Amino acid sequence: RLLLDKYPTFSLNSFWLKNLFLVALEQLRDSLEEIRASSGNMLGSTYEVKSL
């Protein structure tokens, strides 16, 4: 309650939205790196199969 009184609701909301967005971006980047690292061989094999 004290935090809400100290900070306006708008800046608090935008702060949380910005943090949420940054966290989501970071998780997406990590997921993409994991997928790229783990399925790099799988992607290569599927391309080979398609080319046959």
Q: CA nearest 22: which of 10, 14, 32?
A: 14
Residue ranges of domains in the chain: 25-52
Length of the chain, please? 52
pLDDT per position as a tens digit, 2-31 = 665 666 556 667 787 888 899 999 999 998
- pLDDT at res. 33: 86
Higher-pLDDT residue of 40, 17: 17
CA distance 11 to 8: 6
